[in-house]
Chain A
């Protein structure tokens, strides 16, 4: 049973509806934090509501965000030459799963920080996802307390 409810199964990058932006170029005028460097993040989550929240939060904290709904779209974006400092990657993606996406991205030689996220913590899932190449496995909700330390680390290393 394939659910195509809010999948961007054709890999389209949503621009939101009703004015909602999922990142994709939008920058908040007065972010809650500023960084020494320009930080870019890619959000990969098939649930539209989640993409909106994850993008919105990162944007609010001064990060430039692109958001896509499938692993395939993420790989395509990276293959086109787009670079990111951080990738936020949902585990349970349709078609190309989160672990498969992480593995593919790493095989492309991408070494940026990848945060794997899932609706609930499961040791088996965490091990699988970490083995596929993510740097950290986080249970949703995606909150500033979870991602700010990674942004600080990335900003300090750039």
Chain B
């Protein structure tokens, strides 16, 4: 295991935490990695992005329909927020909360505006995590620091 690589990995993670992209829940995720599941973190995040992409598509479609079904939108966003929370995606979670407030107020414009932010944060985090996992793989470790696939 390259010490420099590990250091860079740790610094990248610290940066993501300090900038508020991720919170302690991501650390919990990493602690669940073990020898039997050395790539648990990356696999869980991959699952999150695969599933959330479809959810976002559904929300997008719902926002485009008239009249807007705010109850259905809220239900969808509940699920999306739950998933985001479970991987520690703090900024995404915050935008979800704001969206849900607009939903409750049946504020279409607010929902549309906030949804743009949700998508932006979602995409931004995806890029950062892809870089993080790439670095982990290059160093011969998993995200949680286990010797995994390179």
Contacts and interface: CB of A to CB of B under 8 A. Distances in A.
Interface of A: 1-3, 5-6, 17-21, 28-30, 45-50, 52-54, 56-57, 60, 90, 92, 94, 118-120, 140-144
A142 B83 CA distance: 11
Given A18-B43, A49-B87, A60-B32, 11 more contacts: A1-B58, A5-B52, A6-B51, A6-B83, A29-B34, A47-B82, A47-B83, A48-B51, A53-B28, A119-B96, A143-B25
A21 B48 CA distance: 14
Contact of A5 (B32, B78, B79, B85): B79
Contacts, number: 113
B107 interface: no
Interface of B: 25, 28-29, 31-32, 34-37, 39-40, 43-44, 46-48, 51-52, 54-55, 58, 61-62, 65, 69, 72-73, 75-76, 78-79, 81-83, 85-88, 96-97, 100
A104 B51 CA distance: 29
A13 to B, nearest CB: 16
Nearest to B97: A120
